[in-house]
Structure 1
Amino acid sequence: MLKSIFTFFAFLAVASAVEHFYVQNNSTGLACIILDGDFQFNLVFNEANSTQKYTVTLNNTLEVDGDCNGVINNQSVQTLNIKFRPEGQSARYPKEWELNLVFGSSSNEAFKIVDYTLQTQRTDLVPFFGKFVRDEKAAGDVTATETNAYKCSTAKLGLVGGSTIDIKSANIIAFAQVNGTTFPTNQVYEVCYLDARTSDVVPIVVGACLAALVIVVLVGYLIGRARAKRQGYASV
């Protein structure tokens, strides 16, 4: 029994652990990008007239860098570059994978993911490799306003060809000036559309169930009272 309890809490510890990334401004020492989350890559390869699908997770981070003062097409951007080993990689296929995230800013948004690429390599689990780029038609809401951060149970980044990057338990901020490399304790978060919609549905469902319960109790009370009156008349 005791062993089972230890196993359960060990599982919770592993499940709650997320990857932590940040980029600091070399001039100020302040963090401009902070990202917490677990990465899952849902990859689709079209090879030899067939479609092959694989799901891979980030296993071991090798190198993290970025730029707080980048410029692309005359627009200010901030970048986060992650080199990592995927799940299932062995010495047989030693090349690392690379993920590049580009954040932009506008008058309406403090930050938003505006571009991303994923360079994969062959592994024991994935016999193909390639470069995956952002699908401009894919919906994405990784954005926040003012000094807020972004929060989502699963943030999806669409890739051309039907592949996706899932960032689970995502907490993200960019174009920030954080004194440290972690989110401040008083950080305000903007919840993603899917989670916000779910949070609205739950109280509605709970309220409807409570209302139905009240109606059932009221009807039961009225029926019981009517029966009691009939029994009283019969005894007389």
Structure 2
Amino acid sequence: MEKLSIVCLLFISFSMLGSADVGKWIVSNQEKNITCLVVQMDIKVNFTYTISDNSTKNVLYTIPVNETAVDMTGSKCGEKDTLKVSWKEGNDFEMTFSSNGSLYDLSLFVVNLNTSSLFNDSLANQTVSVNYENESFGIPTNHSYHCNREQMFNATNGYLIVAKVQFEAFKMDNTQLFSRAKDCDSNITPDIVPIAVGLSLVALIVIVLIAYIVGRRRQQARGYLNIM
């Protein structure tokens, strides 16, 4: 049976806007001596849970990256690369990646939270599952996906909010380094480009119009002189 080696690396990333917890998780196949999956990101979950008086409460919860007791037993390399991280009395998140050979994608991103272990005002034995299933990345094989800005995914029972993201699945080497990245903004045309093009067209129209008016006036002036 193949042996699976799983490593969880944690670090704190700082930006000009403040500090953000960024986790880095590595899934490896020890027998084949390869690292198949590397995920790095800051994860927040926006969801609603029921409190003790039976009313509801909306919260923004940050997935902790500094938990001392983290279990990654459910992570695996295979036809589908999977990262599963569990912590503190029944809380976990799972990311599953699928591939068609030339492209791979995030096919499942689910966060399960035992609210009674996280919030003192929660009803007992309450679990909230925030589930996102929408293959929308389309990352070429042997490439990573990168996005520094915040992204919000509309999920079942809430929203998943990620930032400072970089991940690569179906790796076939023994390093924890990312391959060449497909950036989330690489196909987005900056707003300044269409604005500049529009202004250039307006300027061209104005120049043509002025040239036309000047030309007409010169023709009229020549006609007047000929009559005289």
TM-score normalized by structure 1? 0.62
Whichever of the two has the greater Rg, that structure is 2
Shift of the alpha carbon at 1:26?
Answer: 1.5
Count, aligned residues: 200
Structure 2 counterpart of 1:53, from 52, 58, 62: 58
Q: Displacement, 1:19?
A: 2.4
Matches for 1:1-236 after TM superposition, within 5 Å: 11-12=15-16, 14-15=18-19, 18-45=22-49, 50-62=55-67, 63=70, 65=72, 67-70=75-78, 76-84=79-87, 95=89, 97-107=91-101, 109-121=103-115, 122-124=117-119, 127-128=121-122, 129-136=126-133, 139-152=134-147, 153-161=149-157, 163-184=158-179, 187-189=180-182, 191-192=183-184, 195-196=185-186, 198-199=188-189, 201-209=191-199, 211-212=201-202
2:106 corresponds to which letter in structure 1? Answer: K
**Kept after mapping to 2: 8 A contact 1:41/1:56:** yes
Query: Per residue, is there more strand in 1 or in 2?
Result: 2
CA–CA distance in 2 between the matches of 1:40 and 1:188? 23
SS of the residue corresponding to residue 174 of structure 1 reads strand
- Residue identity over aligned pairs, in percent, reads 15
Measure how far apart 1:35 and its partner are: 1.4
Q: Which stretch of structure 1 is more off in the superposition, 21-30 or 45-54? A: 45-54
The answer to whether the 8 A contact 1:68-1:78 is kept is yes
Q: Does the CA contact (< 8 Å) of 1:111 and 1:173 recur in 2?
A: no
The CA RMSD over aligned residues, in Å, is: 4.0
Could you list the runs of 5+ residues in structure 1 that have no partner in the other structure? 1-9, 71-75, 85-93, 226-236
- Give the 3-state SS of the residue equivalent to 2:63 in structure 1: strand
Residues 1:95 and 1:14: Cα distance change in structure 2 (over 3 Å): farther
Structure 1 residue 58 displacement after superposition: 2.7
Does the CA-based 8 Å contact 1:65-1:81 persist in structure 2? yes
TM-superposition CA deviations, 1:123-176 (whole Å, max 9, x none): 35x73341304255xx45244122222223344444322x12112121111111
Q: Relative to total residues, which structure has the larger helix share, 1 or 2?
A: 1
